Amino acid sequence: NMWVSQLGFCQLKQGEEQRKEHCHSLPVQTRTSWNAPIMWELMFDANLHDKAHREANTSVAVTVFAVGRYLEAYLNTFLTSAEKHFMLGFPVTYYVFTDLPDQVQNIALAPGRKLKVVQVEKYSRWQDISMMRMKTISEVIENELQHSFSFVFCFDVDQEFKGRFGTEALGESVAMLHAHYYKLPKNRFTYDRNPKSKAFMESGDFYYHAAIFGGTCQQVKTLADFCYLNIMEDKLNGVEALWHDESHLNKYFWVHKPTKLLSPEYCWDMYIGDISDILLKHWLQNIKKRVKNM
C-alpha cells in the first residue's frame, strides 16, 4: 500500500502552508515518530485518494452496534448522515448489530450500498455491551467480511457525520486521536494503570478513541481478537480495565502501531471550547450529550 503513504507525503508540505493561512493555531503534528500520517484537513487531496480507491475497486464494511435504547436514540441519525458523508460513491455495507432487529427502520440507501441487520444478545451490563463488540467484530470478519470487503470501519453509534469522511481515512490499520486528549500531556492520558489488567500501560504514544477504528479485514480482526482475549483474561482475573474496550484498544495500538491516524476533526466534540486547530469542524461529532439532554 505504498501509494497511499506516498500520496499523503506529497500533500503534506503543501498542506502545511495552507493550514498556516487558514488556522490561527500553531502547526499540528502531521506524522507520528514511526512515520504514519495524521490526517488533518488540507493535508491531503481527497480527489487523489478517491481516484486511487476507484481504481482499486475498494469496498468498505461498517460495523455499528445499536443495542437496547441506543437503537431508537441514535441509529437513524447515524445511518442517514453516513449516507450523506461516508465514502460517497463507493460500495458500503452497514452491518447493524442489535437485539431488536424488527425495530430497525428502512432508510434510503444510494446504489451499491447495503444494510444488513444481525441479531446479538443484550448483555445486562453496559460495559459488556461495549466490550463484547470485539468478539462480534472478530466473528463477522472471519465469517463474512474478509471475503467481500477491502476495508472495515467500526463505529460507536452515538455520532453524526457532518462532513466528508472519505477514502483518505482508509489504511491498513487506522486509529482515531481522541479529541479530548490530543493536546494534553501524556501523564493526563487515561490509560489503564492497574498492573493486574491486561490493558495496563505505563506510557504510550497517543490516547486513541475507541469510537472509530478501522483497517483491512485482517488487521481489524487481529485488533478485535487481541482486545477480546485480553478482556476475557481480565474477567478470569476479576478485573476490568478503566475504560473497558478503549483501554484494551490503546494497549493494542501501543504494541502494534497504527499505519494511519485520524485527526480529531474526524470525531470532534461540540463541547470542546478550543477549536483553533479544527478547520473542518464536526466531521463526525459526538452527539451523546445533546441527545441525553433532550
Catalytic residues: 246
Task: Report the DSSP pairing between strands 260-262 and 208-216.
Answer: unpaired
Residue of 158, 97, 131 lying closest to 242 (CA atoms): 131
Nearer to ligand 2GW, 64 or 278 (CB): 64
C-alpha cell at 11: 500533500
How buried is 107 (Cβ within 10 angstroms: 0-12 exposed, 13-18 middle, 19+ buried)? middle
Residue 277 in the binding site for Mn ion (CB under 5 A) = no
Task: Report the DSSP pairing between strands 208-216 and 151-155.
Answer: antiparallel
Residue 245 in the binding site for Mn ion (CB under 5 A) = no
- Single out the segment in contact with ligand 2GW by CB under 6 A; choices: 23-31, 103-111, 152-160, 190-198: 152-160
Beta-bridge partner residues of 263: none
- Single out the segment in contact with ligand 2GW by CB under 6 A; choices: 53-61, 126-134, 197-205, 270-278: 126-134
CA distance 258 to 103: 36
* Of 36, 39, 175, 211, the one binding ligand 2GW by CB under 6 A: 211
The site for Mn ion, by CB under 5 A, has a size of: 2
Residue 158 in the binding site for Mn ion (CB under 5 A) = yes
Distances (CA, A) of 233 to 148, 157, 245: 32, 27, 13
Contact flags string 204-243 toward Mn ion, x per CB under 5 A = ----------------------------------------
Contact flags string 69-98 toward ligand 2GW, x per CB under 6 A = xx----------------------------
Alpha helices, DSSP H, located in 173-240: 217-236
Strand arrangement of the beta sheet that strand 151-155 belongs to? 38-39, 260-262, 173-177, 208-216, 151-155, 60-65, 92-98, 113-119
CB of 286 to Mn ion, least distance (A): 6
- Partner whose binding site includes residue 129, from Mn ion, ligand 2GW, none (CB under 5 to 8 Å by kind): ligand 2GW
Residue 160 in the binding site for Mn ion (CB under 5 A) = no
Angle, CA of 211, 62 and 60, to the nearest 5°: 125
Residue 210 in the binding site for ligand 2GW (CB under 6 A) = yes
CB of 66 to ligand 2GW, least distance (A): 5
Residue 156 in the binding site for ligand 2GW (CB under 6 A) = yes
- Partner whose binding site includes residue 152, from ligand 2GW, Mn ion, none (CB under 5 to 8 Å by kind): none
Beta-bridge partner residues of 86: 165
Note the residues at the interface with ligand 2GW (CB under 6 A). 65-70, 126, 129-130, 156-158, 209-211, 243-246, 288
Binding site for Mn ion (CB under 5 A): 156, 158
